[in-house]
Amino acid sequence: MSATLEWTSLARTFGLFTVTAVAELLGCYLPMLWLSNKGSAWLLLPAALSLLVFVWLLTLHPAASGRVYATYGAIYIATALGWLWLVDGVTPAWTDIVGVGLALAGSAVIAMGSKTA
Q: What is the pLDDT of residues 35-81, one digit of tens each?
A: 999 999 999 999 999 999 999 998 888 776 777 888 889 999 999 99
| Predicted pLDDT at 2 | 67
Q: What is the pLDDT of residue 16?
A: 93
Nearest in space to 72 (alpha carbons), one of 48, 80, 91: 80
Which stretches within 1-117 are classed as H helix?
3-35, 44-59, 66-86, 94-116
Q: Report d(CA 54, CA 24) in Å as an integer.
A: 6
Q: What whole-number distance in Å separates Cα of residue 8 and Cα of residue 82?
A: 23
Q: What is the pLDDT of residues 4-24, one digit of tens each?
A: 767 788 788 889 999 999 999
Q: How far apart are the C-alpha atoms of 92 and 40, rounded to whole Å?
A: 29
The average confidence (pLDDT) of the chain is 89
CA distance linking residue 78 with residue 20, whole number of Å:
12
